[in-house]
Amino acid sequence: MGELVYEIGPRLYVNLTNRCTNNCTFCIRRTGPTVAGANLWLDGEPPAEDYIRAIPHPERYEEVVFCGYGEPLLRLDALIVVARHVKEHSETPVRVDTNGQANLYHGRNILPDLVGVVDAFSISLNAQDNETYQKLSRPTFGERAYPAVLAFAREAVRLFPKVTLTVVDVPGVDVEACRRIAESMGAGFRVREYLDSGDRYLEERGGDRRGAGRRGGGDRERRTRVPDVVIRRLVLYLRILDELDLVDGDAYISSQDLGDRAGVSPAQVRKDLASFGEFGKQGVGYNARYLREELRSILNLHQRVGVAVIGVGELGTALARYISRRAGRGERYPFHVAALFDTDPRKVGQTVDPGLEILPAERLAEEIGKRGVDIAIITVPASAAQGVADVCVEAGVKAILNFAPVKLFVPDDVRVHYSDVSLELQHLAYYLS
């Protein structure tokens, strides 16, 4: 699992969760699992006691900051317990870095709960107006998020001695307009540089990473430990949520309802979701829109996924058209056809759909990196499949969907799924008698 706490210069940072109600276009999480050398992808959400054990000497730090790879105030109770530990054992000030949507998430004003245990807030304003906020922050709570952030900031200024609003200097942000918003509230203001890597994060914080806290394994390691059958059910849960009419951002769905629709028990739903964190409230259920966005993030469906089809026969052509046309409907469909390849010179240069030109197979290794291919779909004869897979793996592909009727041998860090229509038909034929 990832690190619960990590040091940068004289400050200790506390990484409570990987959940967030925003999916910001500029978020450093998009660059990888590490910040300043610290792996911040957690294996679930450890209890507050684990964090207390990881901070035996809070007096050694200039400041303790709740800031990791998620929104710390989603785990309000745990944050209060850990912050109180810091206060009881030192005079070190406590700061919370937040997106300001905690009151919206918890359905009440949580700021009074933090008086006496938190000294300062850094609130991500992110934009000068709601329209820009929606484009850059892509909040789970939709249009209600930005007004909630402003209200949270005003209340924080009323209750706490030090509140700073921050923005990232990216295209679309009117920094001076944001500064005026902060000044009108009586809050401080800071412009954060856009950071494209964890090392740049370290540079901005102005310190070297000394290393601290309790570790436990990387994101890929965590993902491979989750049984594949759980991932398949997560995909099903996401489909169910996608099919719901979620016009109301406050719509909730219970584990019973989700389980009934998926054909599994409520306990199985809760267990599956608990593999990745705490998403629901006892007696209330899951915020359906929030859970949907979290599942998209867990399944890597919050960003575009490039697919290459190798072997553009009847099956390859059908698959390419299906993916291309789904992507073209304007749906929240993350997959797009990045490239098509075939060995037949009569097919090379032809188009399957507008913009989908078939490339020569000998350019496979060269084009995979250029075109951002994440998944390779192999629809070539069995005799050629292993050679195609070898080229894809060598070019950096980590996921393969193989339609060729043959087992592929790939490194342990490459995932292969198989689809054999003939075998499935033979399997079904048994049940005809």
Do 169 and 144 belong together in one domain? Answer: yes
Q: Give the model confidence (pLDDT) of 226-270 as tens digits.
A: 788 999 999 999 999 988 866 555 588 999 999 999 999 999 999
- At residue 97, the 3 state secondary structure works out as strand
- Say what the pTM is: 0.53
Q: Which among 241, 242, 245, 243 is positioned nearest to 255, based on CA atoms?
A: 241
Buried b (16+ CB within 10 A) or exposed e, 387-404: ebbebbbebebebbbbbb
Indicate the residue among 219, 252, 279 that finishes a domain.
Answer: 219
According to DSSP, the β-strands at 399-402 and 415-418 are parallel
Do 149 and 81 belong together in one domain? Answer: yes
Lowest mean pLDDT among 194-203, 220-229, 354-363: 194-203
Region of residue 54 (left: phi > 0; alpha: psi -120 to 50; beta: else): alpha
Do 294 and 343 belong together in one domain? Answer: no
Q: Give the model confidence (pLDDT) of 377-400 as tens digits.
A: 999 999 999 999 999 999 999 999
Q: Residue 101 and residue 429: Cα distance in Å, rounded?
A: 54
Do 273 and 344 belong together in one domain? Answer: no
Do 265 and 400 belong together in one domain? Answer: no
Query: In the prediction, which pLDDT does 426 show?
Result: 92
CATH for 142: 3.20.20.70
Q: Tell me the residue range of the domain where 412 lies.
A: 305-431
Query: In the prediction, which pLDDT does 217 show?
Result: 34
Confidence band for 215, pLDDT divided at 50, 70 and 90: very low
CATH for 325: 3.40.50.720
Q: Give the model confidence (pLDDT) of 85-131 as tens digits.
A: 999 999 999 999 999 999 999 999 999 999 999 999 999 999 999 99
Q: Taking a C-beta distance cutoff of 8 angstroms, is the pair 234, 280 a contact?
A: no
Domains contained in the chain, number? 3
Indicate the residue among 219, 234, 262 that finishes a domain.
Answer: 219
Do 323 and 259 belong together in one domain? Answer: no
Report which residue type is found at 304: R
- At residue 308, the 3 state secondary structure works out as strand
Confidence band for 290, pLDDT divided at 50, 70 and 90: confident
Indicate the residue among 250, 281, 298 that finishes a domain.
Answer: 298
